[in-house]
Chains A and B, each alone.
Chain A
Amino acid sequence: MSGTATYLWAPPQGFAMEGLPLRWLNEALGDKEQAAAIALSDEACMQRYRRGDDQAFRLLYQRYREKLHRYVLRLSTRESEAEEVFQEVWIAVIRSRDSYDSSASFATWLFSIAHRRAADRWRALSRHAPDGLNATDDLDDALPLSANDAIATPEREWQSQSLGEALLDAIGKLPLPQREAFLMKAEGELSLDDIALATGANRETVKSRLRYAQKRLREVMLPWR
């Protein structure tokens, strides 16, 4: 993801129904101001927030709340755990806003915080961290392929769940480093270099993780083609 990319805000699914942050934003800004704020890049929003602009933070939060939530949700084993990590990440963003380097991509910074928070928590809970022992990069040593299940019983899969559900299931069964790399790409729209920066791995390792993830997911999708 480019550091100067702009993102047009669209109400996330179910968000208008809850309406709380959106209502605050609409009340605080006029139509023109709202349009101008929506066109702001993430980095500009962060700069504004550092200068005390609360609306800029709300905009950033709206852009990344679902993406980050799904990222931590798919890396954790329980929803409550994911919620705690999700909050910890945003609190870290708030508290360390002055240390943010505006020349770097906000998404990379956000997901690198999420990576560290998640890894710390899972280490503390003696679970497998993304770079822990169980988190193997080796395709042969990885967990049994969910794709094998899908291939073995495609008709049952067809009846019980959609391709999308099978894919989500397969993502959940990917080894953690591969899963994390895939999620950073899918949710954070991060480039290989950004993922490498966020996870502390080198570019080739990230590329390899994505390739393995891609291979596994392709196998899952194969019976539906």
Chain B
Amino acid sequence: MNQDTDDTSLDEAIALYRRHASEAPEAMVDARILRIALNSNRQQRAMRQLPWLVAAAASVMIWLGMAQPFATQHATSPRHTGTHPPGYLEGSSRAYLLGMDVNPPTSDVAAYLLHPPYTSP
């Protein structure tokens, strides 16, 4: 018995209605709606993955941005490439010599180490 309306005649009417009402949507309509649902889910999945893809792409870009100048500097250094431009060796030798400590030794030990007494073999 239907408790909401407290009358069995409504239940009878509903039961009778269900037996006789048999209309259904067309298969074309079914297919259209299911396709919309499927596409909508695909789009949503893509949207959910988008931040991760953007973050991954940004990480790669940052990594490339940081690695590239170093790699360029490293690769174009004359010392590593072996091809020296004219005057490079002279210039670097001069810079090395100018950087040398030319002050006289301040202690006897330093003087001894820098100028060991000549010994014949």
Contact = CB atoms under 8 A, between A and B. Distances in A.
Interface of A: 12-15, 18, 20-21, 24, 49, 52, 54, 57-58, 61, 65-66, 69-70, 73, 83, 86-87, 90-91, 94-95, 162-165, 167-168, 171, 182, 185-187, 191-192, 207, 210-211, 213-214, 217-218, 221
Contacts of A218: 9, 13
Best-buried of B14, B21, B40, B45 by chain A (most CB within 10 Å): B21
Interface in B6-43: 7, 9-10, 12-14, 16-27, 29-34, 36-38, 40-41
B24 A165 contact: no
B4 interface: yes
A167 B17 contact: yes
Contacts of A167: 13, 16-17, 20
Contact of A20 (B22, B24, B30, B48): B30
Given A57-B37, A95-B40, 13 more contacts: A52-B44, A52-B45, A54-B38, A57-B41, A61-B30, A65-B30, A73-B23, A87-B32, A90-B33, A91-B36, A162-B20, A182-B14, A207-B4
Contacts of B33: 61, 87, 90-91, 94
13 contacts: A13-B24, A14-B24, A57-B34, A66-B24, A69-B24, A69-B25, A90-B33, A90-B36, A164-B20, A167-B17, A167-B20, A168-B17, A217-B10
B34 A61 contact: yes
- Looking at chain A's contact residues, the main secondary structure is helix
Q: Interface on chain B toward A: helix, strand, loop, or mixed SS?
A: helix
Contacts of B37: 49, 54, 57-58, 61, 90, 94
A70 B9 CA distance: 21
A76 to B, nearest CB: 12
B119 interface: no
Interface in B35-72: 36-38, 40-41, 44-45, 48
Interface of B: 4-5, 7, 9-10, 12-14, 16-27, 29-34, 36-38, 40-41, 44-45, 48
